[in-house]
Amino acid sequence: MPTKILTLSGEKNTWYPNSVTILENYLSSLIKPNEYFDISKCKGIRKNLAYNLQYIEFLDRVIKDIKLSSVLYTQNFKIFLIVGSSIIESIFHYLVVSNGHAKTTNLKEVESYESRDYIIGSKTFKNKTQIHVKLDIPINVEMTFDQMSKKVESKKLLGDSFGFYSKINPLRQLRNKIHIHSSDNALDTDWYNFSRKEYSLIREVLYSVLISEIFEYDHKDIFKFLDIPI
230 pLDDT more than 80: no
Mean pLDDT of 100-128: 95
Q: How high is the pLDDT of residue 8?
A: 62
Q: Quick one: pLDDT band at residue 26, thresholds 50, 70, 90?
A: very high
SS (H, E, C) the chain: CCCCCEECCCCCCEECCCCHHHHHHHHCCCCCCCCCCCHHHHHHHHHHHHHHHHHHHHHHHHHHHCCCCHHHHHHHHHHHHHHHHHHHHHHHHHHHHHCCCCCEEEEEEEEEEECCCEEECCEEECCEEEEEEEEEEEEECCCCHHHHHHHHHHCCCCCCCCCCHHHHHHHHHHHHHHCCCCCCCCCCCHHHHCCHHHHHHHHHHHHHHHCCCCCCCCCHHHHHHHCCCC
Between these two residues, 6 and 165, which has the higher pLDDT value?
165
164 pLDDT more than 90: no
Q: How high is the pLDDT of residue 229?
A: 72
Percent of all residues in the chain with a pLDDT value above 90, rounded to a whole number: 68
Percent of all residues in the chain with a pLDDT value above 70, rounded to a whole number: 95
Question: What are 48-88's pLDDT values in tens digits?
Answer: 999 999 999 999 999 998 889 999 999 999 999 999 999 99
197 pLDDT more than 80: yes
1 pLDDT more than 60: no
Q: How high is the pLDDT of residue 188?
A: 85
Q: How high is the pLDDT of residue 167?
A: 87
Question: What are 35-55's pLDDT values in tens digits?
Answer: 999 999 999 999 999 999 999
Question: What are 120-138's pLDDT values in tens digits?
Answer: 999 999 999 999 999 999 8
Query: pTM above 0.75?
Result: yes
